[in-house]
Structure 1
Amino acid sequence: MTWVVWRQQRAQLITLLAVLVVGAAGVLLLRSSMSSYLDTHGLASCIASGVQPGSTCGLAAQEFQAVWFDRMKIGQLLVLALPALIGLFCGAPLFARELEQGTHVLAFTQSVSRTRWMATKFAVVAAPALVVLVVLQLLVTGWLNAAGKLGPLVSGPFVYSNFGTSGLAPVSYALFTFGLGMLVGALSGRTLAAMAVTLAVFVVVRFVLTGVQQFLLPTQRVVSDDPSQPSVTDQAALVVRSGYLDARGTPVPDGAEDRIGQCGSRGNTEAATDLATCYREQGLAKSFSDIIPSSEVGTLHLVEASIFGGLAVVFVLATGWALRRQT
């Protein structure tokens, strides 16, 4: 049974192997070249600090980013795209092509149960696809870490491209699209339709979950006693809400910008020299921010992965139900 499935899926498996070899070779070569650039231009000490105002790394670091930043973003794009491609070209055709061509009838007449047939096809294709994804994810992550704050990681772990290419995110996305593609293919029996629906649903779900990401974890409120200064010290944190508190500790409603404007220069009136005092005179006693700290990014990965993973399990079970109903 396994040998037959390997033969049926050899095109996808050969393609996955080619993606792994070409992708891994490309990332490794680019990382090696980038490391040489860092050493040649004396930027090794700037990896941890990045481009800071007044830093001696400033100009050289900016030149480095002009050469390498977009290349690293392309590496991230590869990892972002792979889960969708796995669902489109591995998950969607897995059963849709059999139903479309009628070859499922032969499989159903064999001594092997439909459940075992489905499980074998799933394992033979899904396992190699996930291995390819994880290997490329680790290689790209290592490449980004080698650049440190000179690369895309300077934007923080919650930025779309950084979050979607780290932790459990790529694997959970791939399981979701693979399971979705299988289900739509088993229900429709049309490969192209399954691919189109899989891509559309994945894009919509990713967009929705990215929009509500900030509500998946409880926030922490940080407060600055100086209302003229930002309250957030964790620059990599996800800021959900920010504003000002009055003397009683109550958030100031919309319109704080107008009060702040009273402390700036207006016409012949010069700006206030003591901004903190001026802000308090306008009823802005403190500044605050509701944040998800950067240390919680792993927890957010777990929450999101549980959503995508749970949906993937539902899709797999529903696919089994759909195949058992096929004649």
Structure 2
Amino acid sequence: MIWVAWRQQRLQILLSLGIIAALAAVMTFVRFDAQSITDDQLVDDRYGMYVNYLRLVLLALPVLLGAVIGGPLFGREIEHGTHVFSLTQSIGRTRWWASKIVVAGLPVIAGMTLLGLLNSWASAPLRAVMFGGRLVTPTFEIEGLTLGAYTALAFALSATVGLMVRNTLAAMVITVMSYVPLLVLVGNALRPAYATPVTSTDGQTPAGAWVVSSSYVDAAGNPVAFSPAACTTTNIPECMRAQGVVRRVGFQPDDRFWSFQAIEAGLFLALVALVVGAGAWALHHRLRY
């Protein structure tokens, strides 16, 4: 069954791995070339556009690969009726389903995980020209462990929806429409609360810190209304001191990057387990010959 699953999905798998390998080669070249440049302005001139395009590609790649590989996995077979032949052989439903999931999904998920780790290493010489720190969107989403976790969820969701709705195109569309809002929700609502933010009342934050909250308070720590536009001087800090106002900032320091990566990857893998469980249920209760 493993050989059959490979024969059915080898084109999508090989194309996906080819894209991943090509990106890895570009990242490696950029790493060594940028490392040899000592002038930040020259690095920005040479690789500023590269950083922007790389972000767009790596943000879209997990859901595109997941949808393209997962959508046809069961949806196409059910549409064409070829699943009947597979399920009437000596292999059982569970083995047929699990073999296709593992053969089609595991290589691409592993490749995307390695690509995310490689990008964390390759982007180090480009930090000076990248907006914000590593915890800030979209840098966080395209480095480390999360790239593989996002791909795993997109693949599992697309494969499961294809099994349920029995239509390849519908599975791919539903996957994209579900994945994008989820990524936005996690990045804006959940990620800032992975750990208690560090508070600063002097307006200073460490390099690479992610500011998650900002407010004005008085000496007792009570929130106050303050508008820089109401100051009669252009020296805003002096205006704040005259009114007894300080700016309280909550931030996540850059050294929490890998712990946040592990938390978010674990969260998405938990969602993958739920989606795969739903697929196992549909396999035995919804799929008919």
TM-score by length of 1: 0.79
Counterpart of 2:230, as a letter, is: G
Structure 1 outlier segments of 4+, above 4 Å: none
Deviations 1:26-57 (A, max 9, x none): 33344444445x2xxxx1xxxxxxxxxxxxxx
Note the 1:233-252 alignment, pairs <5 A.
Answer: 233-252=205-224
Deviations 1:233-280 (A, max 9, x none): 31322222223322322222xx3116x734516xxxxx79xx54x534
Moved more, 236-245 or 96-105: 236-245
Q: Are the structure 2 counterparts of residues 189 and 162 from structure 1 closer, same or farther at C-alpha, using a change threshold of 3 Å?
A: same
Aligned partner (choices 226, 231, 243) of residue 256 of structure 1: 226
In structure 2, C-alpha distance between the alignment counterparts of 1:292 and 1:23, rounded to whole Å: 30
Q: CA deviation at 1:128?
A: 0.9
Matched, 1:202 2:179: yes
Counting only pairs closer than 5 Å after superposition, residues 228-307 of structure 1 correspond to structure 2 as 230=203, 232-252=204-224, 255-257=225-227, 261-264=230-233, 276=238, 279-284=240-245, 286-307=246-267
**Which residue of 2 is the match for residue 49 of structure 1?**
none
Q: Which is higher, the Rg of structure 1 or of structure 2?
A: 1
Counterpart position of 2:163:
186
- After superposition, the Cα gap between the structure-2 partners of 1:31 and 1:241, relative to the gap in structure 1 and judged at 3 Å, is closer
2:198 pairs with 1:220: yes
Equivalent residue, structure 1, for 2:118: 139
Match of 1:53 in 2: none
- Structure 2 CA distance for partners of 1:282 and 1:29, relative to 1, 3 Å: closer
CA distance in 2, matches of 1:237, 1:34: 23
Cα contact 2:117–2:145 (8 A) shared by 1: no
Instruction: Specify whether residues 93 and 74 from structure 1 end up closer, same or farther in structure 2 by C-alpha distance, changes over 3 A only.
Output: same
Q: Per-residue deviation at 1:159?
A: 2.0
Whether 2:80 is the aligned partner of 1:101: answer yes
Structure 1, residues 139-187: CA drift from partner, whole Å, max 9, x if none?
3333211x243342x6201221210012221111111111110111011
Q: CA 1:300 to 1:25, structure 2 compared with 1: closer, same or farther past 3 Å?
A: closer
Q: Distance in 1 between matches of 2:221 and 2:253?
A: 22
One-letter code of the match for 2:282? A
Where does the alignment leave 5 or more consecutive residues of structure 2 unmatched? none
What is the CA distance between 1:194 and its match in structure 2?
0.5
Asked if the contact 1:76/1:140 (under 8 Å) is kept, the reply is no
2:141, 2:284 → 1: CA distance? 35
Q: Deviations over 1:170-221 (max 9, x none)?
A: 1111111111101110111100110111011111111222221323432222
Question: How far does residue 74 in structure 1 lie from its aligned partner after superposition?
Answer: 2.7
| Partners of 2:243 and 2:31 in 1: CA distance | 53
Distance in 1 separating the partners of 2:256 and 2:30: 31
SS in 2 for 1:9: helix
Farther-moved stretch of structure 1 (5-14 vs 60-69) = 60-69
Tell me how far apart the structure 2 counterparts of residues 91 and 177 of structure 1 sit (CA, whole Å).
Answer: 8
**How much does 1:71 deviate?**
1.3
Checking the alignment, whether the CA contact within 8 Å between 1:222 and 1:289 is kept in structure 2 is yes
Alpha-carbon separation, structure 1, partners of 2:223 and 2:214: 9
| Partner Cα separation in structure 2 for residue 130 and residue 245 of structure 1 | 47
Shift of 1:120: 0.9
Q: Compared with structure 1, are the counterparts of its residues 23 and 245 closer, same or farther at alpha carbon in structure 2 (3 Å cutoff)?
A: closer
TM normalised by structure 2 equals 0.89
2:185, 2:28 → 1: CA distance? Answer: 34
Structure 1 stretch 123-132 or stretch 183-192: which is displaced more? 123-132
Please, which runs of 5 or more residues in structure 1 have no aligned partner?
44-59, 225-229, 266-270
- Is structure 2 residue 134 aligned with structure 1 residue 157? yes
1:172: which partner in 2? 149
Shift of 1:282: 1.9
Contact 2:116 2:144 in 1 (8 A): no
Which of 33, 57, 60 in structure 2 is aligned with 1:81?
A: 60
Percent pairwise identity: 31
Cα distance, 1:320 vs structure 2? 1.2
Distance 1:294-1:22 versus aligned 2 partners, 3 A rule: closer
